[in-house]
Amino acid sequence: MPLVRRSSRFPLAVCVHASRFVGAAALAGCLALGAGASSTSDPNPDAPPLHRATDRVAIGAALSPQDLDDPALAAHVAKHFAVLTPGNEMKPDALQREQGVFTFERADRLVAFAQAHGQDVIGHTLVWHSQAPKWLFEDENGDPLPRDIALDNMREHIHAVAGHFRGKVKGWDVVNEAISDGGPYLRDTPALRAIGEDYVIKAFQFAHEADPDAELYFNDYNIEREYKREKALRLVEELRDAGCRIDAVGIQGHWLLGAPGLEEIEAGVKLFIDAGFEVHITEMDVDPLPRRGRGGADVTAVEREGLDPYQDGLPPEVQQQLATRYAELFELFLRHPQITRVTFWGTDDGRSWLNYFPVRGRTNHPLLFDRELQPKPAFFEVVETLQDAR
Ligand code: 9MR
C-alpha cells in the first residue's frame, strides 16, 4: 500500500481561477469569498480553499439550501467549492409534485447563494425514476400513460424547469440512472414503459430547447464498472448519433474504501474518453463502513451489529486508508484532462447520505471534512495531489 504523503505546503494566497469549466465564475468566487469571509468566521482556517488548489478540474459539492442557515456551513461552502449541486431540490418531486404547481423557492435559494459567491450550479435532475411524481408517466392505476400524454408531461416539466433556471444553471443532469443493473440495456422505469427507449433522446431535446446554452449530461452510478459501462456507452453514443447536445458523461463515483479497483475505474473512464466524451465525477464519496447484511429501514439491531464501528471517529489506520484511496482516485482523475469536474456528494461527513444508506442511522465518514467541518487527512492528500498536477 502506498504511504500517505505528509502534507507540508499549502499556498493560501494563490487564487487559481483559470479553469475552463468554471471560467469567470471562479474569479468572481475568489472575490466574493473575501466579502463572505469577512462577515462569517472561517470554520476551518487551517484548510486552504479546496477548489483553488487546481485549475484542472472544477471542484463541487452537493448540499441542501436549508443547510445554508448555518453560517459556518455557508462560509465552508463559499470557501471550498466552485460548483454547487442541490442534493434534492431540483428533482421532479421537489419542483412539480402536483401537476402544474411549481415550487422553486428552495432551489432558487441555492441558486441565489451560488450567484452571490460566484459559483456555478448543476441542475440535478430533470428525469429520474426515483423522487418523481407518479402522474408524469402513470395513470391512477399505475399503468403507463399513452406515449403522447407522457411525452407532453415530460416536455412541460423540462421546459418549465430548465426555462425557469435558464442562464442560472451551468448544466443539467438531464436523465439520471437510466441504465439497467441486471437487464440488457435500459432500466425498467415509468418513463420507459410509457414512452419507449427514445425517452432519453426526447428529454435531451426538450432540455436543449428550454435552455440552449446549458450543458447537458447523462448521469449514472457504476457506469465505470465492467458490468454496466458498455450499456452506458451505447446510450451516450445513441444520444450523440441522434444529434443531441451532450457535454459530459457523469460518473457518480459512490465508491467504497476497497472497491472497485482503480484499474476497473480507469478502464471505465477511458472507455468514455476514447469515444470522445468529457467525463465528470458527479457524486463522489468513499464509504469506509462495512457493507454486509441487509440494508434498509427494517434492519434489526442484530443485523446492525458490527456495521457501525466508527461512532467515535475513524481509527488512524482507517483514516489513512481513506486518505490514500482519495489520493489515488485524484491521481487517476488528473491523468485524464477530459475529466473536468469532481463534485462531492455532501459538504461534510455529518451531511452525507451514507449516514442513512444502506443502513439508517450509522455514523459514516466518507468525505474530506468531518462533522465539525474540519479537514481530514484525506483533504490534505487531495490538495497535495491537485497541487502536484498543476
Ligand atoms: O442525497 C440524496 C438524498 O438526500 C436522498 O435521500 C436520496 C433519495 O433517493 O437521493 C440522494 O441523492 C442521490 C442522487 O440524487 C442520485 N444518485 C444517488 C444519490 C444518493 O442516493
Query: Confidence class of residue 296 from pLDDT cuts 50, 70 and 90?
Result: low
Q: Whose CA is nearest to atom 14 of ligand 1?
A: 87
Torsion, Cα 146 149 150 151, to 10 degrees, reads: 120
Regarding the beta carbon of 103 and ligand 1, being less than 6 Å apart is answered: no
What mean pLDDT comes out for the span 71-97? 98
For residues 49 and 79, the answer to whether their CB atoms sit within 8 Å is: yes
Residues in a beta bridge with 339: 279
Encode pLDDT of 29-51 as tens digits. Answer: 443 343 333 347 999 999 999 99
Spatial CA neighbour of 61 closest among 77, 79, 75, 49 = 77
User: In whole angstroms, what separates CA 103 from the centre of its chain?
Assistant: 22
Dihedrals φ, ψ of 352, to 5°?
A: -85, 140
Neighbour count for residue 164 (Cβ, 10 Å): 19
The verdict on the CB of residue 320 being under 6 Å from ligand 1 is no
Tell me the C-alpha distance between 72 and 57, whole Å. 25
**Taking a C-beta distance cutoff of 8 angstroms, is the pair 186, 201 a contact?**
no
Contact at 8 Å (CB) between 288 and 314? Answer: yes
Residue 327 lies in a domain: yes
Hey, what's the torsion of the CAs at 34, 35, 38, 39, to 10 degrees?
-150
Residue 12 pLDDT greater than 70, yes or no: no
Question: Is 207 contained in some domain?
Answer: yes
Q: Which atom of ligand 1 is nearest to the CA of 252?
A: 17
**pLDDT tens digits, one per residue of 172-190:** 999 999 999 999 999 999 9
Catalytic: which of 89, 215, 224, 283?
Answer: 283
Is residue 27 within 8 Å of residue 36, measured between CB atoms? no
Sign, Cα dihedral of 267, 270, 271, 277:
positive
Q: How far is the CA of 383 from the centre of ligand 1 (A)?
A: 26
Is residue 66 lining ligand 1, measured as CB closer than 6 Å?
Answer: no
Q: Indicate whether residue 104 lines ligand 1 (CB < 6 A).
A: no
Lowest-confidence range among 16-20, 135-139, 301-305? 16-20
Cell numbers linked to 390: 498543476
Judge whether 102 lies within some domain: yes
**Measured CA distances, 99 to 25, 134, 137, 159 (Å):** 35, 10, 12, 14
Confidence category of residue 305, pLDDT binned at 50, 70, 90: confident
From 176, 345, 357, give the residue whose CB has the most ligand 1 atoms within 8 Å, as the site to mutate.
Answer: 345
Number of domains in the chain: 1
At 304 the pLDDT is 57
pLDDT in tens, 307-331: 999 999 999 999 999 999 999 999 9
Q: Is 130 in the pocket of ligand 1 (CB under 6 A)?
A: yes
List the CATH number of the domain containing 209: 3.20.20.80
In a domain, 7, yes or no: no
- Whether residue 169 is contained in a domain is answered as yes
Burial of 42 (0-12, 13-18, 19+ CB in 10 A): middle
Residue 353 C-alpha to ligand 1 middle, in angstroms?
7
Is 283 among the catalytic positions?
yes
What Å distances lie between residue 116 and 6, 65, 233, 292, CA to CA? 35, 14, 37, 43
Q: What distance in angstroms lies between residue 234's CA and the mean position of ligand 1's atoms?
A: 25
State in Å: Cα 387 to ligand 1 middle: 31
- Paired strand residues for 61: 84, 344
- In angstroms, the CA 160 to CA 156 distance is 6
Domain assignment of residue 125, given as a range: 24-388
Name residues whose C-beta falls within 8 Å of residue 353's C-beta, 6 or more positions apart in sequence: 87, 345, 346
Which residues are CB-neighbours of 73 under 8 A, at least 6 positions away? 43, 63, 67, 347, 348, 373
Q: Is 185 in the pocket of ligand 1 (CB under 6 A)?
A: no
CB 359, CB 304: distance < 8 Å: yes
* Whole-number average pLDDT of the chain: 90
CA 304–ligand 1 middle distance (angstroms): 22
Is 1 within the bounds of a domain?
Answer: no
Determine what percent of the chain is predicted with pLDDT higher than 70: 87
Q: Considering 177, 215, 381, 384, which one is annotated as catalytic?
A: 177
Residue 57 identity: V
Q: Is residue 366 part of a domain?
A: yes
Question: Are the beta carbons of 80 and 47 closer than 8 angstroms?
Answer: yes
What is the band of 301 on the pLDDT scale with cuts at 50, 70, 90? low
Ligand 1 pocket residue status of 295, Cβ below 6 Å: no
Predicted pLDDT of residue 8 = 36
Q: Is the pLDDT of residue 28 over 60?
A: no
Verify whether ligand 1 is closer than 6 Å to residue 64 (CB atom): no
Number of residues assigned to the chain: 390
Reading the block at residue 189, the C-alpha cell is 422505469
**Dihedral pair phi/psi, residue 371, rounded to 5°:** -65, -20
Q: What percent of the chain clears pLDDT 90, i.e. is strictly above it?
A: 85
What's the CA gap between 44 and 31, in Å, rounded?
19
Residue 298 lies in a domain: yes
